[in-house]
Amino acid sequence: MPSARKSRARRAALAAIAAVAIAALGGGVAWAAEVIRASPLSNTYTAQTFDMAAGEIPTFTNGAVGGVPHDVAATARGPDGRFLFKSAVIGSNRSTPVRGTQYLTPGTYRFFCTVHGASMAANLRVGPGNPVPRPRLDVTIPDQRLGAVRNTGKLRVKLADQGSNASGVRLQAFLGRVKIATKRGVSVPAGTRRQLRLSLTRRGRRLLRGRQRAAIKVQASVSFARTDTARRLLD
């Protein structure tokens, strides 16, 4: 009997050691997106750290009393030069997604409230999972006659996405520093290419009038991803 008890104790100890090892590697943690909450009566979050699995988009809930607005914004900057992840600013008893978190790889990321500054801050801990690839835009200006652009009032561009599905893409065309055309809300499925026409602004039409050639620049941008730029001399 003593030997049986020792054997059971040894097996239990080995199991405990294995469980600790698995947990240390992340395999023993059931990672899931926690709701990030603002405290009811103070300009703080309800915890110092909130967890999520890679690839998820957590929800931010403002539990503040009295209509105090709050949000969630990463202290780090993303490839577009803006917040690495961000929620909308919302009032009391409202919820909103924290966009951009789906692209995060495992690690710990600091965030804060843009309304109240660094005094209201916490951490987002990202565990194992399947992070979404960031959109990777590729914009080009195909060969076209400047006269045709003037006559139709349209500038042709091609837009591809080599990352994940991109939606809400903004296209802007410039002559020097002056914006001459724009298009918003463009969607590009991953691995596809679209041909689009950007309508010239009144100022754009006026600036191109009578020109024999024009150096055009087009920028394609989408939230949480790098902006891509194309240039072409049209004549």
List the 117-127 sheet strands across, edge first: 49-53, 117-127, 107-113, 73-74
pLDDT in tens, 197-222: 999 999 999 999 989 999 999 999 99
Tokens of 176: 């020097």
If one counts every other C-beta atom within 10 angstroms of the C-beta of residue 126, the result is 22
Is the pLDDT assigned to residue 21 strictly greater than 80? no
Q: How confident is the model at residue 27, as a pLDDT?
A: 46
11 pLDDT higher than 60: no
Three-class secondary structure of residue 73 per DSSP: strand
What are the percentages of helix, strand and coil residues in the chain, rounded to 5? 15, 40, 40
Structural domains for the chain:
30-127 (2.60.40.420), 137-234 (2.60.40.10)
| Half-sphere exposure for 161 (CA within 13 Å, toward CB) | 21
Identify the band that residue 2 occupies on the pLDDT scale cut at 50, 70 and 90: very low
> How many other C-beta atoms can be found within 10 angstroms of the C-beta atom of residue 77?
10
- The string of pLDDT tens digits covering residues 161-181 is 999 999 999 999 999 999 999
